[in-house]
Chains A and B, each alone.
Chain A
Amino acid sequence: MFTGFFYKLKDARVPVSLREYLTLLEAVEKGLAGYSVEDFYYLARSALVKDERHLDKFDRVFSEHFKGVIDLAEGMDEVDKTEIPEEWLRKLAEKFLTDEEKAEIEALGGWEKLMETLKQRLEEQKGRHQGGNKWIGTAGTSPFGAYGYNPEGVRIGQDKSRHRRAVKVWDKREFKNLDDSVEIGTRNIKVALRRLRKWARTGAADELDLPGTITSTARQGWLDVQMRPERHNAVKVLMLFDVGGSMDDHIKVCEELFSAVKTEFKHLEYYYFHNCPYEGLWKDNARRWNEQVSTWDVINTYGADYKLVIVGDATMSPYEITYPGGAVEYWNAEAGAVWMQRLLDHFEHAAWINPQPENWWRHHQSIQIMHKLMEGRMFPLTLDGLDRMTGELNR
């Protein structure tokens, strides 16, 4: 019945499976969708989408498939709704209004009055953002965005929006900001990092080993209590943080990452660098000039079983990586690339986390160089990126 819709969902990368599709059909057959499109929308959403991150994609596909609205292209941003020139509104309204609606406008006090009301609504929307389901279509239905024109965008008539009928629910795209894990917080990061666990029992035996006790009691014939050490996360992580300069824009998210890793890993070592690691790293930014640690020492101190995670935006002049003396702050005898290579040769499991959005990377030469140096192991600082990173580090 809805095979086309199903495949479109798949194409839009909403993870749907045959089983869920069959569930939906079963539900429709049992008459759960009733006879309204909205109920069908709710039903399909609850049967097919299992994660709020995909709700926005689902809404877009739904709107596209069932209404013929075109654009599915990624990253389309709505034109700022509050800055629509009055002429546009006027023109559009004139073009798409039925005679009946025009009469309604007259009743409302004519064009001037209408525009005034519209403006007022727009102002309200600017101030409050309560879902904005009032007059001018929200998010997806903005008549002026990439979506193309939607005649329901400018809606004339009293109070019809009260039950959210004026704008179709799926076109409101209320789940937009849940998409793609843009929101990242300490808690989320911790969950993402949890995949980087390696359980091991080391240290003092302070936990009762029940199966062991039973086995050895049965064997000995008397109560023989066995103890064992508690389980710990034994993964070892060495982190290098880029500080200062262009990283200032990313301070908040880096702080969150830092506080997450600090509590998540018991064996965590961290150092700072600026732009690109050279011969020296430091632990305390206030005393960075007199308390530098030689990078060689770092390499020799921490074994190859440490997983190296570098956090930096890699946004700099390409010379800072490729040429001796390229560093911005002092004279480096060997190029950053050489030091990077040394680190990577020693630490087999390494990854670079880049707070810059992934689709910007190709616009920065330095990021590309670094990406190549890391052999593609550069990941964006999003939940998805962290997930991919832990996967890579666990290999």
Chain B
Amino acid sequence: MKFQGTENYVATEDLMVAVNAAITLQRPLLVKGEPGTGKTVLAEEIAKSLGKKLITWSIKSTTRAQQGLYEYDAVSRLRDSQLGDERVHDIGNYIVKGKLWEAFEADGEAPVLLIDEIDKADIEFPNDLLQELDRMEFFVYETQQMVKATKRPIVIITSNNEKELPDAFLRRCFFHYIRFPDADTMAEIIEVHYPGIQKRLVAEALNLFYDMREVSGLKKKPSTSELLDWLKLLMAEDLPPEALRAKDAKTAVPPMHGALLKNEQDVHLFERLAFMARREGR
């Protein structure tokens, strides 16, 4: 059982080592990296390449650890009791399973559990899940029942670094930082997404793209997913590669920049640069 990337996902060697270590030792894998470098997609691709089911638990600022285990639906029980429903006598009817429970109880092969953007939740959130992720078991107080994973799921956790994660939590994970792909890897990624795309267009686009990332003062640097969108647009418009190279003279703002720059300040910055380039050119 080894993860080696898929036809849709270019995995670097270090990423493969980290993923395989996490799978073999059955520890969670914590993945960080710039936005748009494919953190979430990674879990999907692992599930796909290993032929497992993917269970996604997306974390929000209001998510509590308990919600991943189970929730006790007191309101419907209250309603049922008012209506004299027979179900009311079994408290088990009102226990709503969370994503973690779902993953622990999955039939057949152990699934892949993605805990997405764990840093969105409260600071204490990861600490509340320590035992559960470590031992892969938890206790349901309402029904006095122990839930234990029959097969340990593969746990992938992503973080955008908005909060520091507690040390005790980190110690139990493997960690991988997806760094921004270099031009070669990027070309591979593009090839995977748009097979048979014009080589020259890619080369020009990449040049421009990496130049753009070098511009200092950008609020949000364009990332992989934005580059892919942009290329799609370029292909749809059928722009010749030469159009991208005309940057020396009038246009420092690349064509279809809307896909790359997501912030009006950044667009202004480029317009200013273009203006200055024009003035110097005269």
Contacts and interface: CB of A to CB of B under 8 A. Distances in A.
A212 interface: no
A191 B61 CA distance: 14
Contacts of A27: 21, 24-25
A23 B170 contact: no
B17 A131 contact: no
B139 interface: no
Contact of A175 (B13, B22, B177, B214): B177
Contact of A42 (B13, B164, B184): B13
Given A32-B21, A42-B17, A50-B30, A19 B171 contact: yes
Contacts of A130: 182-183, 210
A128 B210 contact: yes
Contacts of A32: 17, 20-21, 24-25
Interface in B142-186: 162-165, 167, 170-177, 179, 182-184
B174 A174 contact: no
B177 A52 contact: yes
B130 interface: no
Interface string A21-57: 0010011001010000011001101110111100100
B7 interface: no
Given A32-B17, A38-B13, A131-B182, A46 B24 contact: no
B162 A26 contact: no
Contacts of A30: 24-25
A17 B166 CA distance: 14
A187 interface: yes
Nearest to B173: A50
Nearest to B12: A42
Report, as a range, how many residues of chain A touch the other chain.
20 to 34
Nearest to B217: A252
B174 A47 contact: yes
A129 interface: yes
A20 interface: yes
Q: Name the residue among A15, A26, A52, A162 with the largest chain B CB count within 10 angstroms.
A: A52
B53 interface: no
B231 to A, nearest CB: 18
A43 B14 CA distance: 8
Nearest to B32: A52
B18 interface: yes
A58 B203 CA distance: 34
A275 B176 CA distance: 44
A194 B20 CA distance: 36
A27 B27 CA distance: 11
B21 A43 contact: yes
A45 B27 CA distance: 15
Contact of A46 (B165, B167, B175, B182): B175
Nearest to B22: A46
Contact of B162 (A128, A175, A178, A191): A191
B14 A42 contact: yes
16 contacts: A15-B167, A19-B171, A20-B171, A27-B21, A27-B24, A27-B25, A30-B25, A42-B17, A45-B14, A46-B29, A50-B171, A50-B173, A51-B175, A133-B182, A187-B162, A194-B123
Interface of B: 13-14, 17-18, 20-22, 24-25, 27, 29-30, 32, 123, 162-165, 167, 170-177, 179, 182-184, 210, 214
Given A43-B17, A191-B164, 6 more contacts: A46-B18, A46-B176, A50-B165, A52-B177, A131-B183, A175-B177
9 A-B pairs with the lowest CB-CB distances in the bound complex, closest first:
A42-B17, A50-B170, A46-B18, A42-B14, A131-B182, A52-B177, A50-B175, A46-B174, A130-B183
